Each structure stands twice: as structure tokens, then as C-alpha cells.
Amino acid sequence: MPFSLHIDKEYIVNLDLPPEERWKEVAQAKAPQIRKVLSRFKEFVADWGKDAEELIKLVDTKFGQFDDTIPGPFRGEIMGMAKYSNMNLGEIVLYNIFYEVFTVCTSIVAQDSAGKLFHARNLDFGLFIGWDIKNKTWAITEVLKPAIINLRYTRSGITVFKSVNFAGYIGILSGIKPNMFTLTMNERFNADGGFIGIIEWILGIRTGSWMGFLTRSVLENATSYEEARLMLTKEEMLAPAYFILGGLKPGEACVITRARESTIDVWEMPSAGGWYILETNYDHWKAPLFLDDRRTPANNCMKNMTQSGVSIKGLFNVLNSKPVLNKLTTYTALMQVDTGHLETYIANCTDPCFPW
């Protein structure tokens, strides 16, 4: 595979259809990829211990007994995905939970000299899940790449928003509402992790929202940058996260640092340096883990590029510099809010490449 592979095909999710029918094309086209990802995921569950294994067994085999606890329209969409991919309901729920707790990312919102805003991200996935010694790759990362798709969500034939997804996942990790705002989600590592919220949800404590459902709702329903910002700071969630939000007007960008039940911090682009804001997976006021410092090289690349270099191409080059690009990177997404532009590249980090 070349250094990066551009994704050309775009699937339509018609929001006018009943929820059970919206994902038919994706489910039928990508069922083998969905099944392969889930199968590989299960193979490595033992690495996380008995509790994680028991959680997976519970969701995988018993979820049909309480599937009505998922709010609409997501419940219907998951049911449709299960039907048309010929997988059981518990498997599709498990597949969606998987993405709530294992994303490692770099997100950047940058403003060019004319005040136009661009939003770019690398989505890294599969940290310490199944190192393939023979091929020198992370097994989950590689099996995810064929499942990457571009989506356009429409209503009455008009684009509402667009996203980059792993086929089978109905939430959103990277999305754009044209001429309004852009949004990415990065995982936040702390003791109050995603497994705790998910276990509580299974046991009947369901006050929190799935992160992917929240971002999806924001992209579908928010009508301004300000409204999106408010929704992302107020909702209780199953797991902590960073929401990286970009707007349309100059200076409209922030990183929202979330605990499960509250907002810890809102970091605005003007206070981050004026023309860009950058987030990996660590609180911006703390040093990153020394073994995983993508922040420092990414910031160095941005400063070397300067504001005059801000563009789709410029940000692509930043995100494809090592170690910002690494063996865990599945895709690079690039968005320009004023034009509604979204393009995606499947990543390939040639050796030598971190991690290992």
C-alpha cells in the first residue's frame, strides 16, 4: 500500500428512512470487515484480564434482554445494522462499545491568514492490542483500515453533516456540519475510564450518554458553534473525553476536557497561541506520557509551518510526520468548514515507525 490511500467512495445515510433501514447499504457492503474487526477484538480480550472478558461475554450474549435501554434512533439503527450484516444484536452493541474506550488521537484546528478554519485529525487505534511480531504491526489497527468509510447524512436530499466512520459504528468520532462547525473526539486517559461507565450502564445506571451518540446528536441537531459547545459541556457521559470543536468564524475553536459527569476545562484557541489549537490524549496543562509524546513534535511542525502555511495540504503534512503518524494511525481526516470539505486517507507508516 502507498504512503496513504485516499478514500473516494461515500455512503449515504438517509435520515428520512426509518432507523432500522438507514444503514442497510453499509451493513451489506461491509459485513465481512465488521465481522473481522469484532473477531480480532475478541481474540485479544484476555490481555485486559478476566473482568473485561466477562463484560464482553455479558454484552455479546445477553444484550437482547435490555436493548430497549438504548435511546432512539440509535436502538433502531443498531437493530438494522445487526439485521443487514447478519450478526446478532449483542455483537453489534459490543462492536459499538469497542470504539468508546480505545481511541488514541491527534486533533488540530488551525486558522489561516485570511481567518478560514481547518480541522484535521489522525485517529490512532489499538494501543497494546495484539502486536503482530511477524508483520511488525498492531493487529487491530490493521484490520480496522478496510472498515474505514466516508458518510454523508441527508434529510430531504440535503446534506446535514458528514463523518468518517469505521463501518458498523453508528456514533461519530470525526465529523463536519458544513458552514457551521467541525468536531472530533479524542480519548482521555484517567482512572474514571470508559469501562466503569459502561459497566454501570449495563447494571442499570443509565444517566450518561455514549460519547459517539452525543457527538452524533450534536452534529445532527446543533445549529451553531455556540450551541454545539454548550451541548458538549453539559451532557453526562459514559467515559471521559476530549472534544475538539471548530467553528466558522475566526477564533472559534476549543478543546473541551471532560470527566464523565462534568466539564473540567474549556481551552480556547486564542489562549492556546492565537492561530491553532492541538490536542492528543493528555490534559493540555500537564506533560504527556514520556513514551507517547506526540504533542511536542506536532507543535513543532505547526510552528515550522507557520500560519501562512495553514491549508488542507499543510495540515496533512503535519499529521503525516512521525511520530504524529505512527503504527497505530488508521486514518487522517481533513476538513474545511466554510466549504464543507472532508477528505480521508488510510494511513500507512513505513518503518522505522513508532511504536515498534
Which residues are annotated as catalytic?
A: 105
Strand, helix or coil at 121? strand
Q: Give the C-alpha separation, 52 to 57, whole Å.
A: 9
Contact call for residues 73 and 19 (beta carbons, < 8 A): yes
Map grid coordinates 497494546 to a residue.
128
What amino acid is encoded at 266 in this protein?
V
DSSP code string of 177-217: ETTTEEEEEEE--SSS-HHHHHHHHHTT---SBPHHHHHHH
333, 173 in Cβ contact below 8 A? no
Give dist(CA 251, CA 275) in Å, integer.
7
Q: Tell me what percent of the chain is helix, strand and coil, each rounded to the nearest 5.
A: 40, 25, 35
With both helix axes pointing from N to C terminus, report the angle between 24-43 and 89-98 in degrees, rounded to the nearest 10: 70
Sign of CA dihedral 299, 302, 306, 308: negative
Asked if 121 and 174 touch (Cβ cutoff 8 Å), the reply is yes
Measure CA 212 to chain center.
8
**Residue 221, CA distances (Å) to 15, 118, 213, 224, 341 in order:** 12, 21, 12, 9, 20
As a whole number of Å, the end-to-end CA separation of the chain is 19
